[in-house]
Amino acid sequence: MIDTHAHIDGPEFADDFEAVIQRAKDAGVEKIFVPGICLKDTPHLLEVCQTHPNYLYPMIGLHPENIMDEDYHQALDQLERMIDESIIAIGEVGLDFYWDATYKQEQIEVFEHQVQWAEKYDLPLMIHSRSAHHELAEVMERHRASNLSGVFHCFTGTEEEARELLTFPNFMLGIGGVLTFKKSTLREVVKNAIPLSRIVLETDSPYMAPVPNRGKRNESAYVRSVAEKLSEIYDTNFDDIVLQTTKNTLKVFKKVTFFDKK
């Protein structure tokens, strides 16, 4: 399995970082992708990923919730300078109007800027979208001809929204712990509207731990619970889920090869 989205560089993992890595390996997680969210934390993210080369893979991005914490023009300039061969994607980037749409236009500007990075450096996008589907679709439509690729991270939308996002042929939907929640409608959406060939696994650690660990700190080992739930939904064996989601991941993240030396 590959956990395509884990904030393992965060302070939540400072006290037991190596144990978290070992539990992930013991659970069958072969690689973990680590998204960036702001300028000030990116040097630490890169250092963390260097502790386990060919296991932890860094991304660079300015998260929509963080754009006003820094001078975003300066932050974007400095972040772009950090893009090198080690960076596997532009992310976590996108739009979030859930709590506050005050800086809606600034969010769209910053997202658009980072989409252009993806085009310039031929890197996939790791896209965050919350209460912003319409605006996200508008930005993506402007770039449809540029052959972008990536992941619509933490997808929890409707069947209609899933089908619209799947019209972008080089994108996958990131499915995480919400799939296992008792009252979640995501299971029906996945079953009815999302083919397994368009899904990647993720945890979004330390957030949204799946059942049976809901309410605890999430970690990459728990991605196994997501894969097991997908096995139920698609009525196929666990190994097939792992094989297909790994294939999907490697199709998008072209800098990553599965048989790296660890």
| Cα–Cα distance measured from residue 151 to residue 91, given in angstroms and rounded to the nearest whole number | 10
Q: What are the structural domains of the chain?
A: 2-252 (3.20.20.140)
pLDDT in tens, 81-138: 999 999 999 999 999 999 888 999 999 999 999 999 999 999 999 999 999 999 999 9
pLDDT in the model for residue 255: 96
| Cα–Cα distance measured from residue 82 to residue 78, given in angstroms and rounded to the nearest whole number | 7
Q: Which of 30, 58, 37 is nearest to 46 (CA)?
A: 58
pLDDT in the model for residue 261: 40
Q: Are 207 and 181 in contact (CB under 8 A)?
A: no
pLDDT < 70: residue spans in the chain: 259-262
